[in-house]
Amino acid sequence: MLRGLYEWTMDLAAHKNARWGLALVAFVESSVFPIPPDVALVPMVLAKRDKAWAYAAICTIASVLGGAFGYAIGYFLYDSVGLPILNFYGYTEAFESFASRYNEWGVWIVLIAGITPFPYKVITIASGVTGLSFPVFMIASLVARGARFFVVSGLLYWFGPPIKRFIDRYFGILSILFMVLLIGGFLLIGMIKL
């Protein structure tokens, strides 16, 4: 099943609307969607390495704009929209503790979370709820998300064929490893009190 999804995603990368799909995933991931845009970015770059930088730019811009939407959710709609999203992901208690210290370290938190697999939507909403300076938030988001997506795209651009062959050969093992790391990451985040 996962092999079919992988091959479908590789085929989708050649579709004329692939860029819009990538932009949509990157946008919604920054505010409400649980799947990172890397899931679309990686196969798209592997399928069309000459478009690596364009895909990284699309991912970065859409993610930062999605981050601004997440900020707006936190700033304007925390009680009616933000809180239910945090409840859905089980981050409410950790978020309340986190928000009380947030502005002191906000720029560093945005930078670190923007690069790492930490759910970026939590940071975007937290930035709005706590009133982190919007220009500071946007600059930190642009730097962090740009670094993440351009590094991923760059590695795939320079080492693409060997990485694609490696993925094709060991897809089953890599799928299992990815799922274990993904589930383990969510469990670890759930156990850590921020």
pLDDT digits (tens, 9 = 90+) for 134-158: 999 999 999 989 988 998 888 889 8
CA distance 155 to 171: 19
Q: Which among 145, 117, 126 has a CA at the least distance from the CA of 194?
A: 126
Contact assessment for residue 132 and residue 104, using Cβ atoms and an 8 Å cutoff? no
pLDDT at 5: 56
Residue 28 has pLDDT above 60, yes or no: yes
Q: Which among 21, 42, 25, 43 has a CA at the least distance from the CA of 34?
A: 25
pLDDT in tens, 67-118: 999 999 989 988 887 788 878 888 777 777 777 778 777 788 887 777 776 7
Counting every residue, how long is the chain?
Answer: 194
169: tokens are 């050969």
Q: Which among 63, 158, 83 has a CA at the least distance from the CA of 126?
A: 83
Ordered by start, the domain boundaries in the chain are: 2-191
End-to-end Cα, the chain, rounded Å:
36
Burial class (CB in 10 A: 0-12, 13-18, 19+), 175: middle
CA distance 52 to 66: 21
Contact assessment for residue 29 and residue 85, using Cβ atoms and an 8 Å cutoff? no
46: tokens are 């592997």
Q: What is the pTM of this model?
A: 0.71
